[in-house]
Structure 1
Amino acid sequence: MPLETPHSIRMHDSDNVAIVANNGGLPAGTALADGTVLLEGVPQGHKVALADIPAGGPVYRYNVIIGHASQDLARGSWVNEHRLDMPQAPGLDNLPVATQGLTQPALEGYSFEGFRNADGSVGTRNILAISTSVQCVSGVVDHAVRKIREELLPKYPNVDNVIALEHVYGCGVAINAPDAVIPIRTLRNIARNPNFGGQAMVVSLGCEKLQPDLLFPKNTIPIRDSRQHVDLQDVDVVCLQDDEHVGFQSMIDSIVSVADKKLQILNRRQRETCPASALTVGVQCGGSDAFSGVSANPLVGFATDLLVRAGAKVMFSEVTEVRDGIAQLTARAANQEVANALVREMDWYDRYLGRGSADRSANTSPGNKKGGLSNIVEKAMGSIIKSGSSPIVGVVSPGNLCEQPGLNFAATPASDFVCGTLQLAAGMNLHLFTTGRGTPYGLKEVPVIKLATRSDLARRWHDLMDVNAGRIVDGEATIEEMGWELFHLMLDIASGRKQSKAEALGLHNSLALFNPAPVT
C-alpha cells in the first residue's frame, strides 16, 4: 500500500541527504518528519538535501561521500545526478587489511535434498547440459534439444531438464591471446557445474578455433573425487563435419544418441539429504535503485551471513560495483593474501577499462538514475551490503572455480548476464538476484530467486518476483525476520520442493562470456 504520510529514509546520522520512500514521490511543499520542506517535487527513491550544501560541498549517504554539489543546494532541494560531481576513485595503496569482518558462531542442523557428485559437490538440479565449441552449431543443437526433451526426457523422470550451453565464442577470435584463457576456462568450468552431474558432452563444427581438445584437453574433464585425487572423465564429442554425417538428420541422430547415454547415467541420481554447507550461492543485483541498499541487498547480506555460518560458499561480484568500497573490502579480508588479490583484480579492471577509454562511471545505467542512484559511488555502497559482514576468505578470478568455503569475491564485470555466467563457471548451484527497476532475468542452469526492493514493484510484477523486500521499507517486517524467511526459501528451492518464479515460467537468459581478448 502507498505510504499515506511523508516518509524519507536516512541511512546514517551523518548523512546530509535522505531518500523519499513514498510511492509516486512527494510534491513541493511537503514537510518531512525532521522539518525539512521540499522546495520542489522529488520522485520516489531520489534524494533530498536535509541541510544547506554549498557548491563543492560533500554529499553524504551511507556516511560516505557520494559526490560534491555542483551548485549551491538549499535544504529541501532535489539532489540528483545533474547536481553532483563524482569523486575520484579511491587509491589502491595503503589500504586497511583484516581490521573488520565478524566471525560468527557456526550454524548447524540445516540441510536440503540435493544430488551428490563424485567431486564432493552437490547439485540442486539434475540437468543434462550440452556444451558447444562454437556458435555455428547452435541452431542444430537447439533442434536436437527440442527432440530430446520431447522424445527422451519423459523416459528419465529423475532428470529435470536438458539444455544447450550456447554462446557466441569459438571462432573469429584470437584464440591464443593471453586473455583468451578467460572465456575458454569459463566454458570448461561451466561444464563442471554441480547441476550437470559430471556428464560432459560437446557438439563441435570441426573447423573452429576452439577445438574440443582445447576446450577439454585430451578429450577429458577433470573430476576430483572424494579421495581428493583427480580422475579424468571422458567427454563425448559430436563433430558435425565428420564424414559420417550425411545430411542434417544424421547430425541430430548423433546428438540424440549421445544424449540418451548421458540421460541413462543421470537418471540414476537420487536426491539425498545434504548439509547446507554444500550450497554455492551467487548473489547479484541488477536494475538497481536507491532502495537496493535499503531493503533487498541488506536482506541478502543477512542471508549471506547465515549461509557462511552454515559452511556454504557464497560469492558476491561486480568489480565496478565494489571498486569505490575497496577499503571496506580489504578491511574484511581474512589475511594479506586475500587483500592483495582484491587489489590485483581492481587494478586489472581499472587498466582494462582504461584500454577502452572508459572508467567506472560507465557502469550506472539510465534506469539506475531514474531509480534515484546518482552515480557509481552511491550504487557501490548499496551493492556491497549484500555481502553481509563476514570475513572475505577468497577471491575468484574470472572463469575460475570457487573452492573456498565462506564469503568469496568473484571478480566479474557488472553486466547481469556476464556476471551470472562467471558465477556459473565458479560452481554456483543457487542464485540470489535483487532488483529495484525490475528484470525478468533468469538462468536455465540454476534456480534464480529474485527479490524486489519495493512493494510497488512486487505488486506489479507479482508473478516474476519471489520475495518482496519492500516489506522492510514499509515497516511490515525486519531484515532479520525476512533474512530467515529467505534462508528457508533457499533450502526449499535447492531441494526441489519449490521452484523460483523464473524457473517455473521458463524464463532465462543466454550465457554471455567475458572475452577481453581481441576479436579477429
Structure 2
Amino acid sequence: MSHDSLAFKLHPDDNVAIARNAIAKGTVLAEFANLVVTADVPAAHKVALAPVALGEPVLRYGQIIGFTTQPIEPGEHVHTHNLAMGSFERDYAFGQDARVPAAAARPATFKGFVRADGRVATRNYIGVVSTVNCSATVTKLVVEHFSKSDALKDYPFVDGVVPITHSFGCCIEHNGTGVQQLRRTLGGFVKHANFAGVVVIGLGCEANQMGAMFMSEGIETGKLIAPLVIQEKGGTRKTVAAAIAAVEAMLPVANQCRREDVSAAHLTVALQCGGSDGYSGITANPALGIAVDLLVAHGGTAILSETPEIYGAEHLLTRRAVNREVGQGIVDLIKWWEDYADREKGSIDNNPTPGNKSGGLTTILEKSLGAVAKSGSSALMGVYRYAEPITTHGLVFMDAPGYDPMGATGQIASGANLVAFTTGRGSCFGAKPSPSIKLATNTKMFLRMKDDMDINCGDVMDGGATLESKGREIFELMLRIASGEMSKSEELGLGNEETVPWMIGAQM
C-alpha cells in the first residue's frame, strides 16, 4: 500500500480500490493507469477498476463481497446503488490452513489477581447482579451508595462495586432454552474471576428463579456470594440496606487481594468490532489479528464472536479449524442463522447499519471479511454456545448476534477478562467487569474522539506504522491494561449499562 496514493487495491484479484480520502469526480488515479473517476467517491468507499457486467461478482480482499445490480464501468463509485448480496458456493476445505503458532521463547506476563481456585482476574470488583429486570433498580441503588460516597476509601485494592442489570428474566418458559441461556449468562457473571464477591438480587416471583439458576450453574452461596430476594426481605429499602451490608462484609476480604506476576496464558480476550467502516478490515482489524496471534503464541485465548458478522467469510475460518468437527461447528451455526433469518422474515444482510454503509461497507459479505481479520491467522480450536464457559486455549468462536453489547456480554460470561474493540465510526463502549480497549481504524476519528480511543490504528494507512508494529503495540497495551492501567472507557466510567444478554424464545 503506497502511503501517498489516492486509492489502494487490497488484493491482485480485486476489481475495486478503496479511497484513502474523498475523491472528486474527474480525478485521475495515476496509480491505476490514469483511471478517471466518474463520480464523487467518499472516503473509505470503493471505486471500480474494471468493467463488471450485470450480475457479476465484485471482489475485495480477493473475495466476493456482492454482485452488481447494474453494469459498472471503470471509475464508477461502487456501493448500495449498484451492488447487492447474492448466493455463491464457499469452499470450506476443513483444516487446510490450520496453523498453531510456535510457543513464544520468553512467555509474556502481566500482574493479575490469582483467585483461590487458580483463576486469574484483571480487575478486583464486587458485583451486584439482578436476576430479573424487576430487581434492576434495587441493584443500581446499592451500587450508587458506594459510587457516591467515600465508602470504599479504606479499601484501596478494590476496584469498585459493579451493577449487572438487564431487561429480561420473566414471562418466558420456565425451563425453556431462553431461561437456560439467561441463567448461563448471569451465572457466568456471578462466577467471573474479576468479581471477588457477588450479591445476587431477585424479586421473588420471576421465571428466572434464583435457586434454579444457582443449581443449574453450580453456584454455591457463602460469605462471598450472597442471595437476596426483595419480596422476602420486605421491599426496596430493606433489600438495599441488606445488600449494602452484604457488600460491606465482602470488602475486607476482597481488599486482601494483591496483584502478582502471572503468565499471559491467563488472558482471555473478547474480540469485538462496532461502528465499522471501510478502513476496519485494512487497519485496526488485521492489526488486532496480529496481536491475537501473539497472545495465542503466549498461551492465551481469544474469543471471536457475532455469527452474522462472519457470514460470507466463514470459509476462511473452516479452513483454519483444528479438525473437521470444529469446522463443521461453524457451518452449523451459519445454517442456523440462515434458517432463523428466513423464519423471522428478515435478512442477514440487514446487519450493516446506516453508519456502516455511510462508512463504505455495502454488504454483510464485505463487513464479515473485514471482521474476521481481527482473529489473526492461528488455528480455530473450538466453537461454543453463547455464554458457554471457554475451556480451550487459543482462538475460539462463540455464537452470538451481531449487536456489540450482546456479543460482549456473552464473551464476558464465557470468561473473557479483557475486551479489544475496534471501531471506525467511533463506538463509545465499556464492558464491566472486564476492561475494554478501543482501537480506532482511522486518524480523523481518533483525533475527534480521543477521550474514548486507546490506540490509533489509522497510522498504518498514514504511513507511521506497519500492521506488525501496531499489532505488537496492541498486545503490549493488553498486558498493561490487564495489569491495572485504566483504559479510556474505564476513565470515563463506561460499562455499568452495557450488559445485554441475548434473549431467545417467546416472550409471553
Range of TM-score over shorter length: over 0.9
The alpha-carbon distance between structure 1 residues 417 and 75, as it changes in their structure 2 partners (threshold 3 A), is same
* Residue 139 to residue 44, structure 1, CA distance change in 2 (3 Å): same
Which of 90, 96, 121 lines up with 1:99 in the alignment?
96
Aligned counterparts of 2:325 and 2:74: Cα–Cα separation in 1? 46
Please say if 1:254 is aligned against 2:242.
yes
1:175 maps to what in 2? 174
* TM-score relative to the length of structure 1: 0.93
SS, match of residue 424 in structure 1: helix
> 1:205: which partner in 2?
203
Verify: 1:160 aligned to 2:148, yes or no: no
User: What secondary structure, in the 3-state scheme, does the structure 2 residue paired with 1:194 have?
Assistant: coil
- The 5 Å alignment of 1:265-344 reads 265-344=253-332
Partner of 2:83: 84
SS in 2 for 1:351: helix
CA distance in 2, matches of 1:123, 1:210: 28
Deviation, structure 1 residue 346: 2.0
Instruction: Find the counterpart in structure 2 of residue 29 from structure 1.
Output: 26
Q: Which of 491, 500, 503 is matched with 1:504 structurally?
A: 491
The reply to whether residue 111 of structure 1 matches residue 115 of structure 2 is no
What SS is found at the alignment partner of 1:519?
coil
User: Once the 2 structures are TM-superposed, how far is the Cα of residue 222 of structure 1 from its aligned partner?
Assistant: 6.3
Quote the Cα distance in structure 1 between the aligned partners of 2:210 and 2:292: 37
After TM superposition, give the deviation of residue 85 of structure 1 in Å: 2.6
Contact 2:169/2:182 (<8 A) preserved:
no
Shift of 1:272: 0.6
Provide the C-alpha distance between the structure 2 equivalents of 1:219 and 1:192, rounded to a whole number of angstroms.
9
Aligned-partner Cα distance in 2 for 1:36–1:219: 62
Partner Cα distance (2:42, 2:402) in 1? 26
1:19 equivalent in alignment to 2:9: no
Match of 2:230 in 1: 240
Q: 2:475 aligns with which of 480, 487, 491?
A: 487
1:45 paired with 2:32, answer no
User: For 1:446 and 1:89, how far apart are their aligned partners in 2?
Assistant: 39
Residues 421-460 of structure 1, C-alpha deviations (whole Å, 9 max, x = no match): 0011110101000011111111121111001111100111
Task: Give CA deviations for 1:208-254 in whole Å, capped at 9, x if unaligned.
Answer: 1111111211896169xxxxxxxx99742111111x53x64322221
Could you say if the C-alpha distance between residues 257 and 219 of structure 1 is closer, same or farther in structure 2, counting changes exceeding 3 Å? farther
For 2:360 and 2:396, locate their aligned partners in 1 and report how far apart those are by CA, in whole Å: 29
Q: Classify the secondary structure of the residue corresponding to 2:231.
A: coil
Q: Which residue of 2 aligns with 1:64?
A: 63
* Cα distance per residue 1:354-413 (max 9 Å; x no partner): 221113111111111101111001111111110000000011111201110000011111
Aligned-residue offset at 1:340? 2.2
Contact 1:200-1:221 within 8 A present in 2 as well: no
Q: 1:219 to 1:60 in 2, by over 3 A?
A: closer
1:447 to 428, 435, 445: 435
Distance in 2 between residues matched to 1:320 and 1:507, nearest whole Å:
26
Report if aligned partners of 2:192, 2:413 keep a CA contact under 8 Å in 1: yes
C-alpha change, 1:31 and 1:219, in structure 2 (3 Å) is closer
Q: Is the 8 A contact 1:287 1:368 kept in 2?
A: yes
Distance verdict in 2 for CA 1:432–1:335, change over 3 Å: same
Residue of 361, 372, 382 corresponding to 1:373:
361
User: Alignment partner of 2:356: what SS?
Assistant: helix
1:138 counterpart SS class: helix
CA contact (8 A) 1:115 1:271 kept: yes
In structure 2, C-alpha distance between the alignment counterparts of 1:95 and 1:392, rounded to whole Å: 13
Alignment length, in residue pairs? Answer: 502
Give the structure 2 partner of residue 465 of structure 1: 453
Q: Distance in 2 between matches of 1:434 and 1:219?
A: 32
Output the CA distance in 2 between the equivalents of 1:104 and 1:133: 41
Say whether the 8 Å CA contact 1:321–1:383 is kept in structure 2: yes
2:393 corresponds to: 405
Q: Quote the Cα distance in structure 2 between the aligned partners of 1:59 and 1:345.
A: 26
Distance in 2, matches of 1:479 and 1:44, equals 21
Please give the alpha-carbon distance, in whole angstroms, between the structure 1 residues aligned to 2:384 and 2:185.
Answer: 12
1:295 is displaced (CA, Å) by 0.2
Q: Which amino acid aligns with 2:298?
A: A
Q: What residue number does 1:126 align with?
A: 124
How many angstroms apart in 2 are the aligned matches of 1:512 and 1:306? 30
| Aligned position for 1:142 | 140
State the alpha-carbon separation in 1 of the partners of residues 89 and 342 from structure 2: 16
2:201 paired with 1:214: no
Following superposition of structure 1 onto structure 2, how do residues 412-431 of structure 1 map, counting pairs within 5 Å? 412-431=400-419
Distance 1:179 1:383, change over 3 A: same
Structure 1 residues 59, 276: CA separation in 2 closer, same or farther (over 3 Å shift)? same
TM-fit CA distance, 1:484: 0.9
In structure 2, the gaps of 5 or more residues are: none
For residues 422 and 501 of structure 1, the distance between their equivalents in structure 2, rounded to whole angstroms, comes to 22
Indicate yes or no: 2:505 matched with 1:517: yes
**Does the CA-based 8 Å contact 1:410-1:423 persist in structure 2?**
yes
Aligned 8 A contact 2:113 2:122 in 1: yes
**What SS does the aligned partner of 1:446 have?**
coil
Compared with structure 1, are the counterparts of its residues 184 and 176 closer, same or farther at alpha carbon in structure 2 (3 Å cutoff)?
Answer: same
> What is the identity percentage for the equivalent residue pairs of Structure 1 and Structure 2?
37
Match for residue 185 of structure 1?
184
Q: Is the 8 A contact 1:413 1:419 kept in 2?
A: yes
In structure 1, runs of 5+ residues without a counterpart are 224-231
Offset of residue 89 of structure 1: 6.0
Separation in structure 1 between the aligned mates of residue 498 and residue 419 of structure 2, nearest angstrom: 15
Aligned residue for 2:295, secondary structure, equals helix
Distance in 2 (alpha carbons) for counterparts of 1:233 and 1:122: 20
Question: What is the CA–CA distance in structure 2 between the aligned matches of 1:439 and 1:189, rounded to whole Å?
Answer: 25
1:444 and 1:506 in contact (8 A); partners too: no
**1:80 to partner: Cα distance:** 0.5
Deviation at 1:137, TM superposition (A): 1.5
Aligned pair 1:389/2:377, yes or no?
yes
The aligned residue for residue 226 of structure 1 is: none
User: Given residue 346 of structure 2, which amino acid in structure 1 is its aligned partner?
Assistant: A
